[in-house]
Amino acid sequence: MWAWSLSALAQAVAFQPLQPGVEYGTLTLTKRPEAGDGKLHVVRVDPALAELDLGLASQTGQLRTAAQWAHAKDFSVVINAGMYETDYRSNVGRLVHGEHVNQRPWKKSYQSVLVFGPLTPGLPRAQLLDRDAPDFEAQVKGYRTVVQNLRLVKGTGENVWKPNKRRWSEAFVAVDDAGRLLFAFTRTPFEMAALMDLVLASDLHVLRAMHVEGGPEASLTIRAEGVNVDLAGSYETGFFPRDDNRQQWELPNVLGVRAVKPKG
């Protein structure tokens, strides 16, 4: 058992609506954080109502912060799409966006895949899949956008991480038991095994989750009526072991939710 009480997370997350199908709330992970605010910031997205898209430097030719991607692509919410290679363009895992191929090969050890943009009527607008599931190959072929990343939670809520004494600020994408996507961020550094235990003990009802970035690159931006948030990570064991980063880093690949156009 971790030093904090999992039962303390029985509290409900109070979500506020941002636009149709998009809500924002926070969850207290620890009341005495060594860094950051001790909170998990969560944007909950119903893909049946909200439009998902990617911002890719391999298409536009330009790196941008999450806030800059929001402005450039008319996104109301932006989070990392995944870790990237040293060319500052290619996702570490496979990434295909329609006709555009950012990273062709599958990463053998990465077992989480976000798909959206169904090619066949009747499919969910977005899903988070396990690569080792029996029906994965059939499911993934039904979508125009495929983003592969490192898995945190598999199946119906199984934490796949073990304690390893490595901690970092974290951005991850999850899916809940209603099929909604969760864009989640915490600046407070955690071991992933501990963080996922806390998340699974909460009322977020997470079924699957994938890591999209850690440390100072981890980012979350929200642009909606009454909410203007630009979050940046900092601490990462072995890379950036301090809490003094205050700025979002430029990113090559982001996942975004399209802003709702005003009527009239």
DSSP assignment string, 195-262: HHHHHHHSTT-EEEEEEEEEGGG-EEEEEETTEEEEEE---BTTTB-SS---SPPPBSEEEEEEPPPP
Question: Mean of the per-residue pLDDT values for the chain?
Answer: 94
The whole-number pLDDT of residue 1 equals 37
| 192-208 confidence digits (pLDDT tens) | 999 999 999 999 999 99
Q: What's the average model confidence in pLDDT over 144-167?
A: 97
In the chain, the amino acid numbered 87 is: D
Alpha carbon separation from 113 to 6, 41, 171, 224 (Å, rounded): 28, 22, 16, 28
Q: How far apart are the first and last CA of the chain?
A: 55
**Is residue 238 pLDDT above 60, yes or no?**
yes
| Measured CA angle at 13 (ends 180, 214), to 5 deg | 70
| 61 contacts: CB under 8 Å, gap ≥ 6 | none
pLDDT range class, residue 2, cuts 50, 70, 90: very low
**Is residue 185 pLDDT above 60, yes or no?**
yes
pLDDT range class, residue 4, cuts 50, 70, 90: very low
Three-class secondary structure of residue 56 per DSSP: strand
Phi-psi region at 205: left, alpha or beta (left = phi > 0; alpha = psi -120 to 50): left
The whole-number pLDDT of residue 192 equals 98
| Measured CA angle at 123 (ends 206, 83), to 5 deg | 50
| 65-86 confidence digits (pLDDT tens) | 999 999 999 999 999 999 999 9
DSSP β-ladder status, 100-103 and 112-118: unpaired
- Measured distance CA(69)–CA(136) in Å, rounded: 31
* Better pLDDT: 32 or 147: 147
In the chain, the amino acid numbered 186 is: T
The whole-number pLDDT of residue 226 equals 86
| Measured CA angle at 127 (ends 172, 225), to 5 deg | 60
**Is residue 144 pLDDT above 80, yes or no?**
yes
**Is residue 261 pLDDT above 90, yes or no?**
no
The whole-number pLDDT of residue 260 equals 86
* C-alpha closest to that of 111 among 74, 170, 155, 56: 155
Can you list the alpha helix ranges (DSSP code H) found in the chain?
A: 57-60, 66-73, 136-140, 192-201
- Measured distance CA(103)–CA(93) in Å, rounded: 7
Give exposure, 168-193, as e/b (b: 16+ Cβ within 10 Å). Answer: bbbbbbbbbeeebbbbbbbbbbbbbb
The whole-number pLDDT of residue 263 equals 65
Matching residue, tokens 């979002």:
248
The whole-number pLDDT of residue 10 equals 46
pTM above 0.85, yes or no: yes
* C-alpha closest to that of 126 among 137, 139, 110: 139
